[in-house]
Amino acid sequence: MQVIENDFLKVTIKTKGAELSGLQHKQTGIEYMWQADPAFWGKHSPVLFPVVGALKNNGFLFQGKEYPLGRHGFARDMDFSVAEANGNSVTFRLEASDATLSIFPFAFRFDITYLLNADMLTVTYDVINTGGKELFFSVGGHPAFRVPLEAGLAYENYYLEFDEEENVGRWPISPEGLIEKAPLPFFNHYGRVPLTKSLFYRDALVFKYLRSSSVSLRSDKGSAGITVDIGEFPYLGIWAAKNADFVCIEPWCGIADSVEADRQIIHKEGINRLMPGNTFNRAWSVHCF
């Protein structure tokens, strides 16, 4: 377990999965992260790597060979080392091993840095191709935020506010966790989504190529909330376990296989390609108020 803090926030991260488990405002005492109640969902903020979402038939094909790989990949279940740490930042590292190469035939180094700046936490992913061939991968976040954040409020008192008007549909998910062929209507030139428990009864809301660069969790009946800056992440998932008191705001560089996928990782939608020696860098942040 690693702890970083400043005058505003105290952040706790587990070495297993480099998982953000605590995000507390020191001035108000509010804990923003879901505390992993196993009766609903026993995680806080798993890191998704080297795939995001489910793969068709729970694996992929590469150079004529099939590789088994479960939903969201393996990083969330592996022990990271601490590469660097100081008072307000910490960098975790995961490197390819015999265990990873048996299910994902690419050499890599994956660094995750958590950095505090006033009342904002920035999470940076650096993927380095340490091998001699092109690396194919996806990466994303899955942070779960408590709802309600303040006593006396209910889940339904909150809403998600996108910083731009949106006019896109959501991409439904099959029972196998795959993206269906066509989107369903969702946004109609607006940017606010009232939260209800039933919103997620049919799995996550999945969006592609939104105009917005941030999503806020707010309530008109309270003062506390968060804004997640999704930056250069082309896909976004919004999810909660059934009847649970949280919402996940998930920036993704990658997406689950579609029902029509041919399972070849080089053809996978949203796959990132990285040549030997090169580095892929993306970051998202959460501003707490």
> pLDDT digits over 231-285, tens only?
899 999 999 999 999 999 999 999 999 999 999 999 999 999 999 999 999 999 9
DSSP letter (8 states) at residue 264: B
CA distances from 162 to 71, 73, 190, 255 (A): 27, 28, 8, 20
What is the pLDDT, as a whole number, of residue 144?
A: 99
Chain-wide mean pLDDT for the chain? 98
pLDDT of 134 reads 99
Residue 129's pLDDT is 99
For 20, residues 6+ apart whose C-beta sits below 8 A from its C-beta are 11, 12, 13, 33, 44, 45, 114, 121, 123, 143
Q: Dump pLDDT digits (tens) for 23-69.
A: 999 999 999 999 999 999 999 999 999 999 999 999 999 999 999 99
Contact 231, 284 (CB under 8 A): yes
| Predicted pLDDT of residue 281 | 99
Tokens of 152: 């006396």
Residues near 46 by Cβ (< 8 Å), separated by ≥ 6? Answer: 17, 19, 72, 76, 142
Domains in the chain, start-ordered, CATH in brackets? Answer: 2-288 (2.70.98.10)
pLDDT of 183: 97
